[in-house]
Chains A and B, each alone.
Chain A
C-alpha cells in the first residue's frame, strides 16, 4: 500500500512537527498559567481573606455583644461601668469601624470596612438593656470602650403630720415633718394657713429638733402646707387640715387616720413604703371618771414572815465586780528554814485574812488565830519564794497591819515557841469594798443579798441602815443575807468585800421586799393618777385564826373621793392566812353596786400571788375556792352598775400566780397582767391607769385594699394578708389607742406599671373602731385617702461606644 505524500514516514498522530507542537503547547500553557496566575490573587488571597475578614468581624462583634450582655448583668442603679474593647488595628489590611445602628427596624451592631466593602451585622435586640446603645469607634484609634451610665436620684417626699388636729384657740399644735424623706440635705417650710410660716433645715440626727409648735388665735379650719426641698432643686409638698375650736368647748376623744406613700415619685421596679398613721386625739381632762376597787390579796404568802423567802419580791438590783483590798509581799525560804511561820495582826482589831502561797502550790489560808490576827505555820517549807497576802475583811476604814515572818519556830502541844524573826512589815491597809446604795421606802420586810456570778469566790456583805447601824458580815458561800422587818425608809448602803487573795469576782446584789409591801406601794402609786372626781376603795382578802383557815374579807375603804384616806387604809393592811379570792370579788362588787357615782366607769383591780385556798365560808379546799372565784367573777361581769359593765383587771404577782384562772376572771385575757418584780407591778398599775383614762378608740380594725398596680413585697409582721381576685387585702386589729398615742402600720410594695398609679381602692380601704365613750356597739368608719404614686423613668441609662 502506498501512503499519502503528506504523511511522514513515521506512523503517528502528530499533526504538526515537534517544534510547532512545542510552541503551540507552550502558548496554550502560558495562556492557561497566566489565567491561573491572575486568579491567584482571588483564589489564594481574596476569597480566604474575605472569609477570614468575615470571621474576624463577627469575632469583634461578638466580643462587643458579649461585653454588652455582661454589662447588663452587673449594671449599677446609680453609677457607671466602662469596659475596654480589644480590636486589632486592621483586619485583612483594612481598617474598619464598629457602630451601633438600625437596620430594617432592628437594632444591630455593625462592623464594617468601607474600603474593603465588607460589613457584618450582630443583632442586639435580645440583650436585656432598657436603653439601646449608641456610638461608634474606629479601629485605628488606640482605645475603645463601652460606657454604661445611670444616675438615679431619690426625689424628696413631704409627709405632713400634726397633732392634735383639733385644738382649742391658743393651744399649741405640734407640726411634724420627720417622716419626710429625700436624698442628702433637706430643707422644709411650714405655711400654717393663717399667714405665718416657718422655715428650717432638717437635721436627721436629731429629728425632734424639727418639730414645730404653732398656735392659732382664731377658731376655724386651717390648711397647713409643708414644702420639702433638697440640694438638687427638687421639692414636694403636702397638706394637713387643722380645726380650731373656741376655748372650753367640749372635745370628745377622737381618732385621726391617714395614709402616705414614701417616696411619691420612683422608678419602675423600685419598692416604696406605704405608711398608715393613726393617732388618738382629744383632751385628757375630758376623759371619763372611774370608780376603782382595789382587791388585794393579804394571804400569808405575801409575807416572808409566814411564807419564807417566797414571800419576797425583787425591788431593785445591781451588779458589780469585787476586788479585794490586798497587801502582798514575798519571803525567800532557803535550806536554813526548818519551819516557816507567818503572822499578821491588825492594830485596832479589824478582821484581816492571811493567805500564804508556796512556790509550787496555791494560796492556803492561815490555820491559827492570834490576837487581832492570824498565823500560818508549816514544817520543812519548800525552798523558794513564798507569797504572803493579807486581805482586808472589813467594809470601811483602814487599819495598821503588821506582818512578821519567823523561821525555826515550833509547837509543843498547843504552845507556840517563836523562832528567829526573818522579816517584818508594817503598813496601812484600806478597805476596798464595792459600795451600792438602795433607796427603800417603809416596808415590812427587807432583804439584801449578794450572789457571786461567773465564779464562786467568797464575798462578804455589810449593810449600813439609814439610822447608821452597820450590820454584817454576811457570807455568800454560807448563803446568809441581811434582812430586817419593819425596816425604816431611807438609804441602805451595801458594802461588798472580796474575801479572796487574787483576781476579781463579779456579783449580783438584790434588794427584796415583802410582796405585801410591793402591793401597797404600787396601789398607792395608782391612786396618784386619780383625780378628785374619781372614786377609790379597798377590799382585802386573807385569813385569820389558827392555821389561817378562817376567811378575813374586809372592806378596808368604801368608795371615796379622798385618795389620802384610801392610802391610809392601804398602809394598814397586813398579811396572814389563806386566800378567799371569791369572797373578795363579791365584796368589791357589792361596794361598786352600792356606791358608784352615776356616770363613772366601775373598775375592779384584783391582785393575787397564788391560788385561792379557802372559800368565803371557811372551807379549806382549793377546788371549791377556785370554783367560787370563777362564779363570782362571772356574776360580776353580768352585773350592770348605772348601765355600765364592771371592768375586771387581774394582776398575777410572782411565780406562784395562777395565770389561767386570773385570765378567766378578767374581763378578757387582755385585762390580765403578770408581774415578777415590784418594778413590773408598778409599770402595770401605771398602764392600767393610763388605759382607763385615756382611751380614744377601741376595737380598731384597719383594712387596706391594694390595687393590682402594686405588689406586696413582704407581709407586714402583725397583719393578716388575703387575696381577693387581683386585689390584696391587708388587715390589722388593735384593741385600743389612747389619747396622744400613735400607731403606724407600714409595708413595702413594688409598682407593676408605669405612670400615675393609685395605691389603694377608695371607699374600701378604711379604719373602723368604736368611738368614745365606748358604750355603744356602732362602729365609726374613717376612709383612708388614696396616695398616688408616680412611676416614671427619671434618669435614662446611657450606653455609648467610643
Chain B
C-alpha cells in the first residue's frame, strides 16, 4: 500500500514537471510566432496603391477636361491641387499636382492648349512617389 501511494505521488510530480515544461516551451514558441503571417497582411492593408492611381487619374484625365479653357486652366489646376493636398492629408499623406510648361497654339485669334507637363507627388509613411508626365492634347 505504501508503494501505491508513493507511485501516485511520483506520477503526479512527473506530470507536473511535464506540464510545466510543456507550458514553458509553448510560450517560448508562441512568442516567436506573434510575428509570423502578419507582415504580408499589413502590407496589403497599407500600400496606397489606389490613392496613387486615383491621384494619377485625376491629374491626367480629369485635368485634361479643363484644358479646353486655356485662360483659366492654370488657376483651375492650382485650385484642384489645393483640394487634393487637403483631402489627402486626411489619410496622413502628402499629395500634390503641379502643372508647368503649358504650350499653346494661336489659330486665328483663338488660343488652344496643345500640351502641358504635370508633376505628381505623393508621400506617406510607407511610400514615396513622384512622376513627371507630358500630356499631349490633340
Chain A residues proximal to chain B, CB less than 8 Å: 40, 43-45, 48-49, 52, 55-56, 59-60, 62-63, 66-67, 70, 73-74, 76-84, 86, 88, 91-92, 154, 183-184, 204-207, 748
Partner of A63, one of B28, B40, B120: B40
**A-side contacts of B32, CB under 8 Å:** 48-49, 52, 92
Among B25, B40, B42, B49, max chain A CB count under 10 A is at B40
* B29 touches A (CB below 8 Å): yes
**B-side contacts of A78, CB under 8 Å:** 131-134
A48 close to B29 (CB less than 8 A):
yes
* B105 touches A (CB below 8 Å): yes
- In angstroms, how far is the closest chain B Cβ from the Cβ of A85? 9
- In angstroms, how far is the closest chain A Cβ from the Cβ of B18? 10
**A-side contacts of B106, CB under 8 Å:** 206
Which residue on chain B has the smallest CB distance to residue A73?
A: B49
**B-side contacts of A43, CB under 8 Å:** 25
Among B21, B29, B43, B133, max chain A CB count under 10 A is at B43
Nearest 8 CB-CB pairings of A with B: A79-B131, A76-B131, A44-B25, A82-B128, A55-B36, A48-B29, A52-B32, A63-B39
* B125 touches A (CB below 8 Å): yes
Partner of A81, one of B33, B43, B128, B132: B128
* B126 touches A (CB below 8 Å): yes
**B-side contacts of A40, CB under 8 Å:** 21, 25
Partner of B47, one of A67, A79, A206: A67
Given contacts A44-B25, A77-B131, A84-B127, 11 further A-B pairs with CB under 8 A are A40-B21, A49-B29, A55-B37, A59-B39, A62-B40, A66-B40, A66-B47, A76-B130, A82-B129, A84-B126, A204-B103
**A-side contacts of B29, CB under 8 Å:** 44, 48-49, 52
- In angstroms, how far is the closest chain B Cβ from the Cβ of A57? 10
Task: Give the distance in Å from the alpha carbon of A55 to the alpha carbon of B125 in the complex.
Answer: 26
Question: Quick one: given A52-B32, A183-B134, are A74 and B40 in contact (CB under 8 Å)?
Answer: no
Partner of B39, one of A45, A60, A206: A60
Question: Quick one: given A66-B44, A67-B47, A81-B129, are A74 and B52 in contact (CB under 8 Å)?
Answer: yes
**A-side contacts of B127, CB under 8 Å:** 81-84
Task: Give the distance in Å from the alpha carbon of A73 to the alpha carbon of B25 in the complex.
Answer: 44
Task: Give the distance in Å from the alpha carbon of A205 to the alpha carbon of B101 in the complex.
Answer: 11
Question: Quick one: given A48-B32, A49-B32, A83-B47, are A77 and B133 in contact (CB under 8 Å)?
Answer: yes
Question: Quick one: given A62-B40, A74-B52, are A56 and B35 in contact (CB under 8 Å)?
Answer: yes
Instruction: List 20 A-B pairs, Cβ < 8 Å.
Output: A45-B25, A48-B29, A49-B29, A55-B36, A59-B35, A59-B36, A59-B38, A59-B40, A66-B44, A67-B43, A67-B47, A79-B129, A80-B129, A81-B127, A81-B130, A82-B129, A83-B128, A154-B134, A184-B101, A205-B104
Interface secondary structure of B, over-half rule: mixed
- In angstroms, how far is the closest chain A Cβ from the Cβ of B57? 11
Task: Give the distance in Å from the alpha carbon of A44 to the alpha carbon of B22 in the complex.
Answer: 8
Partner of B42, one of A52, A73, A86: A86
**B-side contacts of A748, CB under 8 Å:** 138
- In angstroms, how far is the closest chain A Cβ from the Cβ of B59? 11
- In angstroms, how far is the closest chain B Cβ from the Cβ of A122? 11
Task: Give the distance in Å from the alpha carbon of A749 to the alpha carbon of B129 in the complex.
Answer: 30
- In angstroms, how far is the closest chain A Cβ from the Cβ of B20? 12
B129 close to A88 (CB less than 8 A):
no
Chain B residues proximal to chain A, CB less than 8 Å: 21, 24-25, 28-29, 32-33, 35-40, 42-44, 47, 49, 52-53, 56, 101, 103-106, 120, 125-134, 138
Which residue on chain A has the smallest CB distance to residue B111?
A: A205
- In angstroms, how far is the closest chain A Cβ from the Cβ of B68? 17
Which residue on chain A has the smallest CB distance to residue B44?
A: A66
Task: Give the distance in Å from the alpha carbon of A45 to the alpha carbon of B29 in the complex.
Answer: 7
- In angstroms, how far is the closest chain A Cβ from the Cβ of B132? 5
**A-side contacts of B39, CB under 8 Å:** 59-60, 62-63, 86
Partner of A74, one of B24, B33, B53: B53
**A-side contacts of B52, CB under 8 Å:** 74
Task: Give the distance in Å from the alpha carbon of A234 to the alpha carbon of B68 in the complex.
Answer: 32
Which residue on chain A has the smallest CB distance to residue B132?
A: A78
Question: Quick one: given A44-B21, A59-B39, A63-B40, are A83 and B126 in contact (CB under 8 Å)?
Answer: yes
- In angstroms, how far is the closest chain A Cβ from the Cβ of B73? 15
**B-side contacts of A60, CB under 8 Å:** 39
Task: Give the distance in Å from the alpha carbon of A184 to the alpha carbon of B134 in the complex.
Answer: 10
Question: Quick one: given A44-B21, A79-B131, are A56 and B36 in contact (CB under 8 Å)?
Answer: yes
**A-side contacts of B120, CB under 8 Å:** 76, 79
- In angstroms, how far is the closest chain B Cβ from the Cβ of A635? 43
**B-side contacts of A206, CB under 8 Å:** 106
Task: Give the distance in Å from the alpha carbon of A559 to the alpha carbon of B128 in the complex.
Answer: 81
**A-side contacts of B134, CB under 8 Å:** 78, 154, 183
- In angstroms, how far is the closest chain A Cβ from the Cβ of B80? 19
**B-side contacts of A80, CB under 8 Å:** 128-131
**B-side contacts of A81, CB under 8 Å:** 127-130
A88 close to B35 (CB less than 8 A):
yes
**B-side contacts of A183, CB under 8 Å:** 134
Which residue on chain B has the smallest CB distance to residue A49?
A: B32
- In angstroms, how far is the closest chain A Cβ from the Cβ of B55? 10
**A-side contacts of B125, CB under 8 Å:** 84
- In angstroms, how far is the closest chain A Cβ from the Cβ of B69? 18
Which residue on chain B has the smallest CB distance to residue A207?
A: B105
B132 close to A79 (CB less than 8 A):
yes
Which residue on chain B has the smallest CB distance to residue A79?
A: B131
**A-side contacts of B105, CB under 8 Å:** 207
B36 close to A76 (CB less than 8 A):
no
Task: Give the distance in Å from the alpha carbon of A705 to the alpha carbon of B29 in the complex.
Answer: 71
A70 close to B47 (CB less than 8 A):
yes
Task: Give the distance in Å from the alpha carbon of A52 to the alpha carbon of B31 in the complex.
Answer: 10
Partner of B56, one of A66, A74, A204: A74
- In angstroms, how far is the closest chain A Cβ from the Cβ of B96? 13
Which residue on chain A has the smallest CB distance to residue B50?
A: A74
- In angstroms, how far is the closest chain B Cβ from the Cβ of A184? 8
**A-side contacts of B24, CB under 8 Å:** 44
A74 close to B37 (CB less than 8 A):
no
Task: Give the distance in Å from the alpha carbon of A289 to the alpha carbon of B103 in the complex.
Answer: 45
A45 close to B28 (CB less than 8 A):
yes
- In angstroms, how far is the closest chain B Cβ from the Cβ of A516? 32
Which residue on chain B has the smallest CB distance to residue A151?
A: B132
Which residue on chain A has the smallest CB distance to residue B47?
A: A70
